[in-house]
Amino acid sequence: MSDRATQQMTIAAPVEVVMEVLLDFPSYPSWAPDLKDVEVISTDSQGRGTEVRFRAAGMGRSTHYTLTYDYSDPNVLAWALSVGDITRKLDGRYVLAEVPEGTEVTYELEVELIVPLPGFVKRRSQVRIMHAALDGLKAVAEKAAA
C-alpha cells in the first residue's frame, strides 16, 4: 500500500522562475540534499527532461530510480516512477500557483516501497524529504529571482 503526503510553501519568485529551477534536473543535487546524481535520459521537443535517472541516499544506502515526466499542464511538473530498485511507486507533482507574494508551490508525493517499513518511519522520511526539497527549491528560486 502506498503512502501519500502533501506540503505547501510560498516562494518569493515568479512561477516562471520556479518552473525554470524545477526543469534544471542536473542542478537538483545542489539544492536537494538526498540526491547525489541526476542524468537526463531523454527530452521532449522543447528540451525538457521526459525521462530522468536519479541516484539518492536513502535509508542508509544508495538507491536508483527513473522518473517519467508529464508536461500536459503548464503550471504542473508531474512524474511517475518507471524504474526503481527499492520503490514500486514514486509518483508526484509540483503544482505552481501565482499569488501576490510570488508562487505557491504544492508538492504531492505518493510512495510505495518494495521493502515494508513501519508507517511512522515512512511518514517521517517522506516529510523530511519533502521539506528539504521545498526549502532548497525556495532558496534557489528566490536567489534567481533577486
The DSSP result for the chain, as a single string, is --EEEEEEEEESS-HHHHHHHHH-GGGHHHH-TTEEEEEEEEE-TTS-EEEEEEEEEETTEEEEEEEEEE-SSTTEEEEEEEEESSEEEEEEEEEEEEETTEEEEEEEEEEEESS---HHHHHHHHHHHHHHHHHHHHHHHHHHH-
Q: What is the pLDDT of residues 72-99, one digit of tens each?
A: 999 999 999 999 887 788 899 999 999 9
Dihedral (C-alpha) 68, 93, 115, 125: value to the nearest 10 degrees? 140
Domains of the chain: 3-145 (3.30.530.20)
| Choice among 39-53, 55-69, 110-124 with the minimum mean pLDDT | 110-124
pTM of this structure: 0.89
pLDDT over 70 at 18, yes or no? yes
Q: What is the pLDDT of residues 56-75, one digit of tens each?
A: 886 667 889 999 999 999 99
Who has greater pLDDT, 46 or 1? 46
